[in-house]
Structure 1
Amino acid sequence: MKRQLLIVAAALALAACSRSDTAAPSTPPAASTAAAAALPASAASTPAVADSDTMARYDGYGDMRFGIDEAAFEQAWGGELKGAPGQDSTCFYKTPKWVRRSADFAFMFEGGRFVRYDVGTAKEAAPGGGKVGMDEAQIRALYGARVQAQPHKYVAGAKYLRITAPGSNGVLLFETDAQGKVTRWRVGVPPQVDYVEGCN
Structure 2
Amino acid sequence: MTAAEVKALQAQDALGSYTGYGTARFGMDEDAFRAAWRADLKGAVDPAGDCSLLQRPWDNALADFDFMFEHGRFVRYDVGTPREIAPGGGKVGMSVAQIRALYGRGLQVLPHKYQQNEQYLRIADGKGDVLIFETDTAGKVSRWRVGVPPQIDNEDGCL
Under TM normalisation by the shorter chain, which class is it?
0.7 to 0.9
Query: How much has 1:96 moved relative to structure 2?
Result: 1.1
CA-atom RMSD in angstroms: 1.9
Q: Which amino acid in structure 2 is aligned with residue 191 of structure 1? A: P
Contact 1:161 1:174 in 2 (8 A): yes
Query: How much has 1:99 moved relative to structure 2?
Result: 1.1
Contact 1:170 1:188 in 2 (8 A): yes
Q: What is the TM-score of this pair, normalised by structure 1?
A: 0.70
Q: What is the TM-score of this pair, normalised by structure 2?
A: 0.88
Structure-2 residue corresponding to 1:155: 115
Contact 1:147 1:161 in 2 (8 A): yes
Query: By percentage of residues, which structure has more helix?
Result: 1
Query: How much has 1:133 moved relative to structure 2?
Result: 0.2
- The verdict on how the C-alpha distance between 1:77 and 1:85 changes in structure 2, with shifts beyond 3 A counting, is closer
Q: What SS does the aligned partner of 2:55 have?
A: strand
Alignment of 1:96-175 (within 5 A): 96-166=56-126, 168-175=127-134
Q: What SS does the aligned partner of 1:114 have?
A: strand
> Aligned equivalents of 2:36 and 2:64: distance in 1?
21
> Aligned equivalents of 1:190 and 1:199: distance in 2?
15
Structure 1 residue ranges without an equivalent (≥5):
1-51
Q: Which amino acid in structure 2 is aligned with residue 182 of structure 1? A: V
- Deviation string 1:35-57 (CA, Å, 9 cap, x unpaired) is xxxxxxxxxxxxxxxxx974100
Alignment of 1:62-73 (within 5 A): 62-73=22-33
Contact 1:59 1:169 in 2 (8 A): no
Structure-2 residue corresponding to 1:81: 41
Structure-2 residue corresponding to 1:17: none
Number of residue pairs the alignment of both structures matches: 148
Identity %: 58
Contact 2:49 2:71 in 1 (8 A): no
Query: How much has 1:90 moved relative to structure 2?
Result: 2.7
Structure-2 residue corresponding to 1:58: 18
Structure 2 residue ranges without an equivalent (≥5):
1-11
> Aligned equivalents of 1:100 and 1:150: distance in 2?
30
- Return structure 1 stretches of 4+ with deviation > 4 angstroms: none
Does 2:159 match 1:197? no
